[in-house]
Amino acid sequence: MNWIIWLSVLWLPALLAYMNLNEIKAKKNIVLGVTLPQEGREDAQVQRILQTFKQRTIAAAACLLIVGIAAMFIPGRTMTLFMLWTVLTVIVPYIPYVLANRDLKRLKTERGWTSASRIVYADTGTEPVRYLHPLLFVPPVLIALCPILIEKGLSIMYVMMAVLCALSYVSYRYLYRNKAEMVDADTARTAALSRIRRYNWGKMWLISSYAMAFISLLSALTPRHPFVSFLLLGVLCIAICYEAVHLEMKTRKAQEKLTADSGGEWYVDDDEHWLGGLLYFNPDDSKTIINNRVGMNSSVNIARPAGMVLMSFLVILLAGMPVMGVWLDSLGTQPIVLSVDDRQLRASSGMTHYTIEREDIASAELREQLPERLARRFGTAMDHYLEGTFSDTEGAVKLLCDPYCPPYLYIVTKDGKRYLLASRVSEETIQAEQLLKE
């Protein structure tokens, strides 16, 4: 499992380096978050800054990769190391970016390439927006609900998948700012750039909605063919990631080509609102959700209260990841308590509690092995901790046990619910089974 977790993220430093290095190429007159005129792009000092950025970015990615590979071989504390490394991978690549942005901005001021501040431009010739029809998002919602016909016990999970499919439309519609991609006074260029961005943005969310629907369908395969399902899910995830990056790069490529000859006499420059070239802070702008200047993604205006809340939430989430790693690692050693009294059987570990009325129990027996083809459907599956709803060849089964601590108390209730519970101390599990028989 250690290997799977690490291999699923070890490619991130290379991807982020690739994306950041792409920012060296001028798109919409912007290089590393700084708007430069044509003459500025060929400037020798600018080229030196870009070269330094390139070297630093490659070095940062190589360091992160080496640290990640080394962490793979460190036994124990897997999740703590994994989370810590993920946080570093999200932050470290942007340090060379911010440093280069600062140097470029300084040079821009020295050379007098700055423009008037606090001015916003709009083109009256901008085309009205045509959004994708919401009905296009209905088929994935219905596809995601289909597995309910096979697995009624996991209806909640499939409904949640359908909700995620529907949320793709909400994200498409509302996480995008309806703003023309104005670079200079060329209205035709503005219209072309806006159309390309909107098209790729819509395509991405439509693909995301259908991908979610197929994940739901593949989940239904899990009980009968867990390995095939796992493999197909992996392939699907790789395909989604590839397509997301592909669309982003396609948008950037179009922006690069269409604005190659811009940056002459007059061009739009709102660098002063972009802190470090990454964070948007503009009190004059009433919008919270804004478009990134390069590519097709969205960001938030941290000068708005809602934007600040969203950004704070993201920072707290990042800061909380290592803490979550420590907690996840502690699950592997956290005691699992089984207790039986006159009325109930209780199994608890941390925040998880299962209570079964004794009068509802149809059978209780000890098993030395966990079922074959056991697959997690809903819950936690760690090396030394299984908790939540799983499935085997007979259907859904609730688990709370350490897979390395047999025996397991197998309970079937009168209404057909199945449980596999075990303490980390074998004697406690045996004692619980004996008490249930009395």
Q: Residue numbers of the site for another protein (CB under 8 A)? A: 116-126, 128-129, 177-180, 185, 282, 284-287
**CA-CA distance, 217 to 214, in Å (whole number)?**
5
In the sheet with 337-340, reading across from the earlier edge strand, the strands are: 337-340, 344-349, 352-357
- Min dist. Cβ of residue 279 to another protein (A): 16
**CA-CA distance, 420 to 370, in Å (whole number)?**
8
**CA-CA distance, 31 to 76, in Å (whole number)?**
43
Report the residue number, 123 or 256, with the smaller CB distance to another protein.
Answer: 123
Report the residue number, 57 or 190, with the smaller CB distance to another protein.
Answer: 190
- Min dist. Cβ of residue 178 to another protein (A): 5
Q: Say if residues 258 and 193 touch (Cβ distance below 8 Å).
A: yes
Q: Say if residues 437 and 365 touch (Cβ distance below 8 Å).
A: no
- Min dist. Cβ of residue 131 to another protein (A): 13
Amino acid (1-letter code) at residue 216: S
Q: Say if residues 378 and 396 touch (Cβ distance below 8 Å).
A: no
Report the residue number, 52 or 187, with the smaller CB distance to another protein.
Answer: 187
Spell out the residues 6+ positions from residue 66 whose beta carbon is closer than 8 angstroms to its own.
none
Report the residue number, 11 or 266, with the smaller CB distance to another protein.
Answer: 266
- Min dist. Cβ of residue 151 to another protein (A): 44
Report the residue number, 287 or 358, with the smaller CB distance to another protein.
Answer: 287
- Min dist. Cβ of residue 123 to another protein (A): 6
- Min dist. Cβ of residue 284 to another protein (A): 4
Report the residue number, 119 or 156, with the smaller CB distance to another protein.
Answer: 119
Q: What is the dihedral of CA 292, 306, 311, 162, to 10 degrees?
A: -80
To 10 degrees, what angle do helices 94-111 and 44-72 make? 170
SS3 label, residue 1: coil
Q: Say if residues 255 and 193 touch (Cβ distance below 8 Å).
A: yes
Report the residue number, 289 or 425, with the smaller CB distance to another protein.
Answer: 289
Q: Say if residues 345 and 436 touch (Cβ distance below 8 Å).
A: yes
DSSP string, 188-231: HHHHHHHHHHHHHHHHHHHHHHHHHHHHHHHHHHTTT-HHHHHH
- Min dist. Cβ of residue 21 to another protein (A): 31
Report the residue number, 54 or 177, with the smaller CB distance to another protein.
Answer: 177
- Min dist. Cβ of residue 290 to another protein (A): 8
